[in-house]
Chain A
Amino acid sequence: MKTENDKPIARQKRRSASQWAVAWRRFRRNKAGVAGLIIVLAVVFLGLFGDFFAPYPAFPNPHYLDPLYKGDVRKPPSATYPLGTDGIGSDVYSDILHGTKYALYVGVVVTIITMAIAITVGAIAGYFGGWVDNVLMRFTEVFLVFPSLLFILIFVRVFTLGAGVGTYFNFLGISVPVGLTIVVLVLAIFNWPGDARMIRGEFLRVRELEFVEAEKALGAGNRRIIFRHILPNILSSIIVVASLTIAYAILLEAAVSFLGFGDANTMTWGQILENNFNYMQTAWWAELFPGLAILITVFGFNLLGDGLSDALNPRLRD
């Protein structure tokens, strides 16, 4: 009988063996990751459409304080106000819905900026090595040592003084709050070094793999190697880090706003918490629910990040 060249491993139906298909299947099996994905999708949905089904409008709109005018200040959760009313008389439920988009804005934009800078710097340092690498790594090391929260606070305070608080700028037809954007930029400035180091590490790792040598031997230029060969291989790490960065950025913005450094006119969840800090004893639900919203959102992104990490970088058993 002739020996077969194709194994008993081959089964009846051909399943796609592409890296992404395999990862997706693994991801599907990871219940936590899937739960995270669902949460994130829900949050995104609310971010995009929350404004429409909030019973009361968002901050600058005078009807924002309608509950106050009805005499329903600091009322606990009830049928009319599912999450109660807050210290100054706005509906907590509506506030949270309106705040969702800000949370996403912060998370996504910080991540995009951070990733852009980190990948560039990390790639240059990791790929070219030598003194370039040294200089860049010393530089980022300083950021590691820094007490970054302190500096974030100073920077935010200083830069929001100059900017017109409560103003907006127009970006592709959407009006974006300036104050919040400054916070976003400062967060990004202090976040990228950490990620740059990680990416540099990844670059170093992949650079040493043999296929890169092979490509070089075939005459591929630097740019080609970086973009076509190395980057795709570390894409999975980048995705994972991105997801976790979103989580981290949301938390940090909440902290900054809570301490009073945020844009007082932009009702992010952190800002709501700040506003109601003094009413903690009488209207504790106003402190509970926005924080819960942060918790659930961040939790979702963390689950997602972990799930992706597991799916894209399977740990080898035995």
Chain B
Amino acid sequence: MKENYMSETLLKIQDLRTYFFTEAGIVKAVDGVSFDIKKGETLGLVGESGSGKTVASLSVLRIVPKPGKTIEGTIEFKGENLLKNTEKEMQSIRGKEIAIIFQDPSSSLNPVYTVETQLRDVLSAHQKITKEEARKKIIELMNLVGIPEAETRMHEYPHQFSGGMKQRVAIARALALQPTLLFADEPTTALDVTIQAQVLDLLEDLKKKMGMSLVMITHDMGIIAKMTTRVVVMYAGNVCEIARTLDLYERPRHPYTASLLAAVPRLDRKKTLKIIPGNIPNLIEPPSGCRFHPRCEYATKKCEEEPPKLEEVEPDHFVACYEWKNLTLSGETGKSE
């Protein structure tokens, strides 16, 4: 996993705010998020449900479902600010330059059309292509993602595939036009454990083959460890910590990150499972200041008042916490020594 961490930036998100304007109130799902995605890297985007990781990726593609709306921020991609693009411009980017795969292939594939039709829809959305040319390309794609008997199976419907195979179809769809950036939103959560590894390996393989950047959105620290070189940790719509994966595991700087790491059960060492007390905060009326402060052992008065900004702790390691200097957090215990 040697990557040149000085490599170029592919996508730069700055101060992104995406809110949902619901009847019950304004849900501040993504509230001031900034991070970069570098060319050719595998970036982890980690956090509990409700952290805003999915919404952030949807915001990049600008397909946040109503009543959501991105109200602030910039997203720089290949010299453009995506948030200023017209719908037509975005459509030519979606699927072609930036793609996304979702958690549950049973619901992300259209049940009434064959695999061939759906893949062809993507191809023809971006280029003029004949049925025959599409057919060839589709077989290629299906072979690429490891679906056997592509020629016959392309005429089948999603429900005729197993979970793992369905996800491969979804991956084929996402990669049909060789995007430079792929978001993978919990791609293995809905699959059997045995299949999970296969799909993850496939993703890694394809990423190398196609030279694209991959963003692994997950809450599973194991996947982070296996696949990513850099990680962004999110909590309740904010970014807590950004670091190289190794650095993150060896020396987490944010109490939340430490707790996340400590909450992973391990077989090789006996230890009590550390639980993070409390619940995910209400995003309509989030806690003041640092959103994690009600659950944080080390919170001070300042943490309650002002939300902390990302500071560079060491090269390529950023944290948004006032107390990082005073803490020596361990990923094992989740506490400071």
Contacts and interface: CB of A to CB of B under 8 A. Distances in A.
Direct contact of A and B (CB under 8 A): yes
Interface of A: 1, 3-5, 7-9, 29, 317-318
Contacts of A7: 278-279, 281-282, 294
B20 interface: yes
Nearest to B288: A8
B279 A3 contact: no
A9 B50 CA distance: 14
Contact of B295 (A3, A9, A318): A3
B287 interface: yes
A29 B306 CA distance: 35
B163 interface: no
Contacts of B67: 317-318
B277 interface: yes
A1 B289 CA distance: 15
A9 B299 CA distance: 19
Given A3-B278, A7-B278, A8-B287, A317 B22 contact: yes
Nearest to B301: A1
B300 to A, nearest CB: 7
Interface string B54-75: 0000000000010110000000
B52 to A, nearest CB: 12
B297 interface: yes
Nearest to B296: A3
Given A29-B23, A317-B22, A318-B65, A3 B282 contact: no
Contacts of B294: 3-4, 7-8
A9 B236 CA distance: 14
B286 interface: yes
B337 interface: no
Interface residues of B, number: 22
A1 B300 contact: yes
A4 B68 contact: no
B285 A318 contact: no
A4 B299 CA distance: 12
Contacts of A317: 22-23, 67
Contacts of A318: 20, 22, 27, 65, 67-68
B299 A1 contact: yes
A87 to B, nearest CB: 50
Contacts of A9: 279, 281-282, 285
A182 to B, nearest CB: 47
Given A317-B67, A318-B65, A4 B278 contact: yes
Contact of B282 (A1, A4, A8, A29): A8
B22 A8 contact: no
Q: Which 4 A-B pairs have the closest CB atoms?
A: A9-B282, A8-B287, A3-B277, A1-B299
Given A7-B294, A9-B282, 13 more contacts: A1-B297, A1-B299, A3-B294, A7-B279, A7-B282, A8-B282, A8-B287, A8-B294, A9-B281, A317-B67, A318-B27, A318-B67, A318-B68
A5 B67 CA distance: 31
Nearest to B298: A1
Interface in B236-287: 277-279, 281-282, 285-287
Contacts of B299: 1
A3 B22 contact: no
A125 B38 CA distance: 60
B281 A8 contact: yes
A9 B298 CA distance: 21
Nearest to B24: A317
6 contacts: A7-B279, A7-B294, A8-B287, A8-B294, A9-B279, A318-B27
Nearest to A6: B278
Contacts of A5: 277-278
Contacts of A29: 23
B56 to A, nearest CB: 15
A29 B22 CA distance: 13
Nearest to A4: B294
Contacts of A4: 278, 294
B296 A8 contact: no
